[in-house]
Amino acid sequence: MTTPSAPPPNKPLSVPAKAMRKLGLDRDIDLALHLPLRYEDETRIVRLVNARDGEVVQFEGEVVYSEISIRSRRQLLVTVDDGSDTCVLRFLNFYPSHQKTLSVGARVRVRGELRGGFLGREMMHPHFKLAGGELPGALTPVYPTSAGLPQVYLRKAVLSGLARADLSETIPAPFLSQNMPQRMSSLREALQFLHHPTPDVALQTLEDRSHPAWQRLKAEELLAQQISQLQARRVRAAMRAPALKGSVLRGAQQPSLHAQLLESLPFKLTAAQQRVGTEIDADLVKNVPMHRLLQGDVGAGKTVVAALAASRCIDAGWQCALMAPTEILADQHFRKLLSWLEPLGIKTAWLTGSQKPKMRREMLALIESGEAGLVIGTHAVIQDKVKFKNLALTIIDEQHRFGVAQRLALRSKMTDDGQEPHLLMMTATPIPRTLAMSYYADLDVSTLDELPPGRTPIVTKVVNDARRDEVVARIQAQIAEGRQIYWVCPLIEESESIDLVNATQTHEDLSAALPGVGVGLLHSRMPVAEKKAVMSLFTDGVMAVLVSTTVIEVGVDVPNASLMVIEHAERFGLSQLHQLRGRVGRGAAASACVLLYSTGDAPRLGEVARARLKAMVETNDGFEIARRDLEIRGPGEFLGARQSGAAMLRFADLETDAALLAWAREVAPLILNQYPELAERHVLRWMGSKAEFLKA
């Protein structure tokens, strides 16, 4: 069919070709696996009198009127009569060829969304062609596409990709038994059906992906994910890492660094910290690289666990790197670990993007010579220039903040003899355990399920923005008691500058309302040095109130802060709210979190926002929060967001398809063992070049 938006015929194909590449549609199989978003029904011709406004319909009729109107703006208006009623076709953009096809007396076939208009029923920019011709026997697929890639072009490409692709079975028949649809016996059938379903299909089963063809596809996808995880695990098991044993550093006569660090800590480890430490130690003494996720709620004390792991590594005579997502956080780790390790004679190097060239050169030299046992920094740690003498352990804090590529880069900082470093990832936004176990077959998980003693739970209140004054009064009371306060302003995605106004305004207002009180401002656009200066004024207690955008979100540790105010809390995600709240309640004083919300012009908050704020009031437990988050958002998005923004699964949904996931988990090792070639082909088919990434 001709569409007004179709490109003129002679346009070179390079634009769509580029767009296809961007969508990852490189191979025939990629095209075959590019499944429709929805379908259009061109298999039927309806009578206008039977069609309702709002429906997408196809009808045939005679053009009874055609004009180019120039009243409000130039447009082509064409009236078509199908014998039962008339419909006006309205085109704001059109070519002379449109006018020609749609000339009075012509019989045309038209498809579009019907709506009631000023001139009677009308369609805006409908598809049309001359009437007659065969009706297709299948629904017409509408594919996800992007700018510069017309649907018509994509349809053709998919069709030929589907015809050319190798769709031979990679799942041996015996494994296609339980949980697997019997009816859709081959991948080829399933794909052909999903691209061109017969019109008698119950559309609902395509939409909710419960149709056997969808089940088959989702099972295939989950199987590919499981096999690739198993492969990754095997590849890793075959790799070598330095076994971090003994105390080369101090010699056998003296207490190890690890023992000395434990001795010098101002607190006793919690049972959970001890247990997790033992789990990590058990990995480090092996000559296989560790691949462990340490999850623990905000404030659970992950830093000291990291420091103890680092000390094991340094004890054995190797270097350790610790990477954090923001400079503020890296700086804080640096100070803390420096204060613990320097007195014990360990040199720590510091690397960040903003440091002066001279300082940087000095640090690089310390790292290369091996003089620095520990290296702490931001992304700067993974740059090519950074050469370690003998890196054996890398620790990534707030790992979900890093992209997969960055994590791979850090892992590839191999030692000279080709060994891989051990990897410890830390996160405060835990993956619910069942999900972690079933989804990440190639990840060992340690969990800090206990907070250090003496913490009083944080009381969370949801307060309408109209009652801001009461909140300010509360701040005054806290300051009178010598406490400190965070006030966080939201990140508005569309405009960083509005953000700034927001935080700046709040800063001014609070400064005016609290005369004689030190009120600081921190936002992402400030030069790093200034950020650090403000942060240390707050850390040292000189400033009582810190107004900030979300730069303080991760990891900041100021135990004297006891009140967290979050403005426009309705705009934050649940795990982000929990992270922010975790900035308080770190000392013995009772702490509170105030979630200020505003409904804007609406009478009340939206459903999802309400569910999030409710969850915040009801629980302080990060695992419970993660569970609720999962419930509110669904696992696809939950995991997707964690993985550098790219969804890991295109089709399957870990919750609705739990049965398929269970099947995939069960058969993946069997297929990999008994049919290694099929397994290889299966993963390649589904993941192509992405397979490498999934292993990070």
Task: By CB under 6 A, name the binding residues for ligand ADP.
Answer: 267-270, 273, 296, 298-304, 428, 452, 555, 557, 559, 586
The two three-digit tokens of residue 437, written as one number: 């176990």
C-alpha 375/C-alpha 410 separation (Å) is 12
Provide, rounded to whole angstroms, the least separation between the CB of residue 272 and Mg ion.
15
Provide, rounded to whole angstroms, the least separation between the CB of residue 605 and ligand ADP.
29
Provide, rounded to whole angstroms, the least separation between the CB of residue 334 and ligand ADP.
13
C-alpha 181/C-alpha 448 separation (Å) is 41
Q: Which does 325 bind (CB under 5 to 8 A by kind): ligand ADP, Mg ion, none?
A: none
Neighbour count for residue 166 (Cβ, 10 Å): 12
Q: Which does 593 bind (CB under 5 to 8 A by kind): ligand ADP, Mg ion, none?
A: none
Q: Which does 296 bind (CB under 5 to 8 A by kind): ligand ADP, Mg ion, none?
A: ligand ADP
Tell me the CA distances in angstroms from 593 to 69, 250, 560, one per residue in order. 61, 46, 14
381 versus 500: smaller Cβ distance to Mg ion: 381
Q: Which does 430 bind (CB under 5 to 8 A by kind): ligand ADP, Mg ion, none?
A: none
Which DSSP helix (H) or strand (E) runs through 671?
helix 658-674
Q: Minimal CA–CA distance to 585: which of 559, 549, 621?
A: 559
Helices (H) and strands (E) in the chain, counts: 24, 22
19 versus 324: smaller Cβ distance to ligand ADP: 324
176 versus 306: smaller Cβ distance to ligand ADP: 306
Q: How many residues does the chain have?
A: 696
192 versus 536: smaller Cβ distance to ligand ADP: 536
128 phi and psi angles, rounded to 5 deg: -155, 155
305 versus 609: smaller Cβ distance to Mg ion: 305
Q: Which does 301 bind (CB under 5 to 8 A by kind): ligand ADP, Mg ion, none?
A: ligand ADP
Neighbour count for residue 476 (Cβ, 10 Å): 13
Provide, rounded to whole angstroms, the least separation between the CB of residue 436 and ligand ADP.
18
Which DSSP helix (H) or strand (E) runs through 332?
helix 327-341
Q: Which does 246 bind (CB under 5 to 8 A by kind): Mg ion, ligand ADP, none?
A: none
Q: Which does 24 bind (CB under 5 to 8 A by kind): ligand ADP, Mg ion, none?
A: none
The region that residue 317 occupies, defined by phi over 0 for left and psi between -120 and 50 for alpha, beta otherwise, is left
Give the count of residues interacting with Mg ion (CB under 5 A).
Answer: 1
Angle at 650 between CA 405 and CA 637, to 5 degrees: 75
Provide, rounded to whole angstroms, the least separation between the CB of residue 393 and Mg ion.
17
Q: Which does 559 bind (CB under 5 to 8 A by kind): ligand ADP, Mg ion, none?
A: ligand ADP
Provide, rounded to whole angstroms, the least separation between the CB of residue 277 and ligand ADP.
11
C-alpha 319/C-alpha 307 separation (Å) is 13
- E-only strand ranges, 272-314: 291-296
Q: Which does 258 bind (CB under 5 to 8 A by kind): ligand ADP, Mg ion, none?
A: none
What would the DSSP string read from start to end of 146-182?
-TT--HHHHHHHHHHHHHHS-----S-GGGGSTTS-S
Q: Which does 557 bind (CB under 5 to 8 A by kind): Mg ion, ligand ADP, none?
A: ligand ADP
Q: What is the DSSP letter of 570?
A: G
Provide, rounded to whole angstroms, the least separation between the CB of residue 451 and ligand ADP.
8
Q: Which does 298 bind (CB under 5 to 8 A by kind): Mg ion, ligand ADP, none?
A: ligand ADP
Q: Minimal CA–CA distance to 329: which of 363, 298, 356, 292?
A: 298
Chain residue whose CB lies nearest Mg ion: 555
Name residues contacting Mg ion, limited to 252-291 (CB under 5 A): none
Provide, rounded to whole angstroms, the least separation between the CB of residue 398 and ligand ADP.
9
141 versus 555: smaller Cβ distance to Mg ion: 555
Provide, rounded to whole angstroms, the least separation between the CB of residue 556 and ligand ADP.
9
Q: Which residues contact 16 (CB under 8 A, 6 or more apart)?
A: 148, 149, 150, 153, 154
16 versus 555: smaller Cβ distance to Mg ion: 555
Provide, rounded to whole angstroms, the least separation between the CB of residue 52 and Mg ion.
57
Chain residue whose CB lies nearest ligand ADP: 301
Provide, rounded to whole angstroms, the least separation between the CB of residue 616 and ligand ADP.
17
Q: Minimal CA–CA distance to 243: which of 280, 277, 283?
A: 283
Q: Which does 355 bind (CB under 5 to 8 A by kind): Mg ion, ligand ADP, none?
A: none
Tell me the CA distances in angstroms from 599 to 497, 504, 568, 632, one per residue in order. 21, 21, 9, 20
Q: One symbol per residue from 513 to 552: x for binding Mg ion (CB under 5 A), - otherwise; what is it? A: ----------------------------------------
C-alpha 574/C-alpha 38 separation (Å) is 31
Provide, rounded to whole angstroms, the least separation between the CB of residue 419 and Mg ion.
28
411 versus 586: smaller Cβ distance to ligand ADP: 586
Name residues contacting Mg ion, limited to 132-191 (CB under 5 A): none
2 versus 536: smaller Cβ distance to Mg ion: 536
Q: Minimal CA–CA distance to 321: which of 269, 382, 238?
A: 382
96 versus 453: smaller Cβ distance to ligand ADP: 453
415 versus 429: smaller Cβ distance to ligand ADP: 429
36 versus 555: smaller Cβ distance to Mg ion: 555
Angle at 566 between CA 564 and CA 568, to 5 degrees: 170
Provide, rounded to whole angstroms, the least separation between the CB of residue 578 and ligand ADP.
11
Tell me the CA distances in angstroms from 20 to 27, 434, 612, 646, one per residue in order. 10, 37, 38, 17
Residues 551, 576 contacting (CB under 8 angstroms) = no
Angle at 285 between CA 283 and CA 287, to 5 degrees: 85
145 versus 591: smaller Cβ distance to ligand ADP: 591
Q: Which does 273 bind (CB under 5 to 8 A by kind): ligand ADP, Mg ion, none?
A: ligand ADP
Name residues contacting Mg ion, limited to 545-584 (CB under 5 A): 555
Interface residues with Mg ion (CB under 5 A) are 555
